[in-house]
Each structure stands twice: as structure tokens, then as C-alpha cells.
Structure 1
Amino acid sequence: MPSINSNFDWVDTPNPAERGFSITAKESVNDMIPDFLSNVVLWSDCPAWIKNAEAIPPSLQGYTLVHSMKADYQKRTFIFGRTRTNLERNTPFQVSWVKRMQFWPTVLLKLWFEQGNLSLSGNQKDGNVVHVRSKTRDGAMYPTWFKTSRFLSERPWPRTTSRSPTPITDTVTWSFDGSEGNIPECLHPGCRFPRFQTSGKVLFDAGTAEVEIGNDLQVVEYPATPMTDWEVYPVEDTPQNIGGFWFRELVEAYPPIDDRDITQ
């Protein structure tokens, strides 16, 4: 019977309020290390040469093996962390806030066209003038709240955990019925314009020659950008392995227009 606690020790985790534990076992040539990288291995699933190294209380027997390392001559240390549910893995153990400047892109909120008989420029005299109307939110640097959430897990998070919209912009361009214009580098809910009108013909050997023009001769469409307005989005999402424990730091930017709605 091994002496109590001689091969047992507590181990720090990235969460200063939580600890794991380690077991140091004598390792012989025929002893195999459990494949904890490909499978979930609890302390109770470990082979006898590990479990017999030290008596473990029932409250720790459900912990997960997260790391293995050489300890001494023919000895190996195994580190175990608390087994979590998916909800616990995705619940931060610490949240902090900081305010700094951040660029937010232009948002095209509305775009429409009015047809009238009066030219606002005074250059057209034949009526049926198309006037452009739009409503935008100007892009600029704004003071922005950033929320940093810190998570801890005994195994890596799936890639789908980090999927979220990003502020990828489009340049919306139109040219029809004598109206031409564009709104550069903006977020938008999707735009559609009638066919382009030109005085000549398409030169098929110029431009992106390998890409068919197709329906662009009749209608031009811009699908909605991934974000159609300012919203909370992650600017950093960094998971890393620290001593066998998975630590994730998520930094999210909160739109300046929502500043009054942020609660800690």
C-alpha cells in the first residue's frame, strides 16, 4: 500500500480559484501511457500502474487526464483537471472591461431612388431625373468598450465555438437610367440594381476574362454583408494549452451606439 499523499500533489490552473491534481507513478518498460489526446480518459479509466500509485478520494476520481510528463528516473507525472459540462466550458470564470478607440465601418442603412422632373444639378432638362436617397452611419474611430472573457476547459473547444460574424465590407456601385454612384467599404443589408446602361458593347477580353458576366448584364446584386450593422463581435479569440489545461481568452467589441446598454 503506497504511503498517503507521497505521490499526490495539487496543481495550479489558469483559473487562480481552481486547482487540479497530479499523480506520480513508477513507470516500467511495459507500462503504456493512456491515449488522452484522442480520447477522454478519467482517473477511473487509467491503468492500474497509475491508479495504484496513490489513493484518491471519490470526489477526484471523475477528473480528466490532461497532461503527462517525465518526473524522475522511471517515474512519470500525470495531471488531472476537473471534468466539465459543455455549459461549464462555455461559461467564463472571469470577465473584465476596458475602453479604447476602435474603427467601425460605414453602415448603409437605407438606399432608394426617386424619379422626378426637376434636376437638382440643373444640368438635365428633359425630366425623369433619378435622385439618390440614402441613410448611412458614418465609419470612424470611436471610443469602444471591450469585454474580455476567460474560459477554462480540460479539453480543446471545437472550431464551431469560435464561429461568429465579422465586419467584412462591400463597395456598392450602381449605374442605371443616368444615375451613377457608389458607397465605398460599407456594411449593408443587400442591394439590387437594374441593368447597367452603356453606349457601347461589352469587351469580352478585358477584365476578369475567366469569370462569366452572366446575369450582371440584366441585374446587379450585392448580397448582404456578414454584419449588416454594428453589433458585438470578437476581435480576438485565443485558445491555448497551459500545462495541459485549455485556456481561452475572448475579446469582444461592443458598438459605441450601445454604450448605455452595457451592464457588468
Structure 2
Amino acid sequence: MKKILLSSLLLIIWSCCTYALAENFSKNYHYRLIKDRLNEHFDPKSGNERLSNTFDNFILGDLAKINILGCDFNNVEVNQENINSVLNSIGFYEAYAQDLKKYHLSLNEFNRLYYFDESELSDLCINFNYKYIIQLNNHELMIPYDNHLIFYKPLSDEDESKINHLNNNEQCLETKQGEMQWTDTCYYNNMTILDVYEAMSLNPYYVFRSKLKAGENFLADYEDKSVDMEYKWSGNNKLTITQYFGGGVTSYTFIYKNNKTKLITVHSAD
């Protein structure tokens, strides 16, 4: 039973921290969900918070490929005539007419279309939530889903720099797994606790929404993510963030020493 619970928790965490990975191009772009464009169909107050959270992921994309949970969006159309042909074949304009009108969108605003080759997909990918991603001329991404359009915007240059700085300075040890618990340890050279936290806060998975002030302890709770959080400092060079979820507890311990930050992440299943 414990093994089953652990496997389930691993699957949940993996799905929550989904990245859309793009390959074979020199420039990657990170995207975040534009929440204020979610209509009432996805509004947490309507009881559909699960749908909202499904799309509240961090997307990394380029011009060649987007990969989500191992499923490749690697067919790319850039010719407007071909894009129009594909979208017509799936009844896109009729199904999404209301949102297209709402956001003043037409074929002229579509820059690139990513989609699955369903003949080469696993069962997981065939049953994926959506099949197409449209890149707009303003570099936003648009996902057609259940007759509604979901939008993502690229991060600012400043935030992109923070993410790249985090990734370039990261050195992680092999994950240690115990009974109902596993631990990750990473080091970030030339980065303070605040540097690491701010970069990680750009990824919705971590739910690092609160602003930090060294030495200031506080509590926070986020109903949309069903998590209660505790921030506790030990001096100015050690911070522990504990997240209490319905299915377990995750703790992040940041320790700054010798011009680098050590981060110990412990996931524990109930």
C-alpha cells in the first residue's frame, strides 16, 4: 500500500511541475499562464479549480519543438495557408468563434502552429488534454481546449535572466529515496537565498508567491493550490519553507554559506 501511495504522489508531483520542453534551437522562451484571461469555465470559484491548475504550468518553448510530459508537438506550420487548412479540418473557427471574437483574433495573428502526429503517439499522448498550440504574432502561446482559448505570455527579459542564472549555476546530487520520502540536494554558486528563491518563484509549481524579508517568519495559505505554507528563518542565512498539502508535506531548506546557496528539498507522503 505504501508503494502505491508513493507512486501516486510521484505522479501527482510530476504532473504539477510539468514543463513544455523545446529542443533543437538556440533560443528558449519561458511562458506563464495569463490567468486574467481565464473565463468563468476555469474560474476556481466555479468549482473548476482543477482545470485552472492543469494549465498553471511553466512552459519552455522554441521554434522547433514543444514537449509536454513526453508528448511532442513537433509538427510545425508557419505558412498561413497551411495553418488555416489544419485549423479548418478540426473545426477550430466554429468551435472557438466566441473567444476569437472576444480577443479580436484571426488567422492574420497566427504566426506558428504546433501539433501532434497522432499516428506515432503512445496511449498517453493520444489521450492528452489538447492537440494544438498556436503561437501568435505577439509571441504569446494559445491553446485551444474544450471550446475555450488558454493564453500564455513570455517572461520579461529580466525574469528570463533570473531563470537562466539559476539553471547555469545549479549543481544537483542524485535523489535519495526512502520509505514514503525522497530528498533532492542542489547547490547554486554565486547566488544568495533571495536570488534562488526569486528565480524559483517564477515557476508556478513551487507556489513561492510571498515576498521574502530576511529574518521575518510568517504563514501563508493558497486555496487555489490547496496548500498551507510556513516560512521560518534561523538567522539570516538559513530559511525553511514547509508546504502542507492534502497528500503530504514538502520542505525547502535554503542555506547560504561560502558564496553559494544549498537547497535541500524533501517530499514526504502522508
TM-score range, shorter chain: under 0.3
Larger radius of gyration between Structure 1 and Structure 2: 1
Structure with the bigger percentage of helix? 2
Higher RCO (CA-CA < 8 Å; seq separation 6+): 1
